[in-house]
């Protein structure tokens, strides 16, 4: 699956999840911290969001970037390994960027499991310092 198809699927899944949750554009923009216009423009132009933008969208919908891009785990396994998908998405990142993503994913798991409720906030602060 190429990047354009992943992006199309991402926006399609965003629409479906937003509708399923009964979110309005106003709710969605408040939750993501991005204007409805910027989100609609990205979607209309089928542009891949930045990692930070995708993370905000996934958070607003209560899901993961993986779920928005790939869908359910059965679908992901039918279309190739997650390693293949991650490679295509991350091939232009350097090792420190990938390490930062892995640390953020670990922090998210810890925050969700209740092991360290501050883990995700700390990881996001590190990401913002590095990328914003």
- For the residues 26-53, what does the mean pLDDT come to? 86
Q: What is the mean pLDDT of the chain?
A: 76
The closest of 109, 112, 90 to 99, measured between CA atoms, is: 90
Q: Give the model's pLDDT for residue 77.
A: 43
Sign for the pseudo-dihedral over CA of 20, 21, 25, 29? negative
Record the pTM: 0.54
pLDDT at 69 over 60: yes
Written as one string, the DSSP assignment of 16-68 is: HHHHHTT--HHHHHHHHTS-HHHHHHHHHTTPPPPHHHHHHHHHHHTS-HHHH
Q: Which residue has the higher pLDDT, 97 or 7?
A: 7
pLDDT (average), residues 37-66: 85
Separation CA 29–CA 60 (nearest Å): 9
């Amino acid at each position: 699956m190429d990047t354009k198809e992943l992006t199309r699927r991402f926006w399609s899944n965003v629409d479906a999840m937003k509708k399923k949750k009964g979110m309005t554009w106003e709710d969605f923009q408040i939750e993501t911290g991005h204007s409805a216009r910027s989100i609609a423009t990205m979607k209309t132009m089928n542009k891949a969001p930045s990692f930070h933008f995708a993370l905000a969208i996934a958070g607003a919908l209560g899901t993961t970037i993986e779920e928005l891009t790939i869908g359910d785990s059965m679908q992901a396994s039918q279309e190739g390994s997650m390693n293949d998908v991650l490679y295509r998405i991350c091939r232009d990142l350097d090792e420190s960027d990938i390490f930062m993503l892995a640390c953020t994913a670990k922090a998210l798991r810890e925050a969700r499991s209740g092991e360290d409720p501050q883990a995700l906030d700390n990881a996001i602060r590190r990401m913002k310092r590095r990328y914003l």
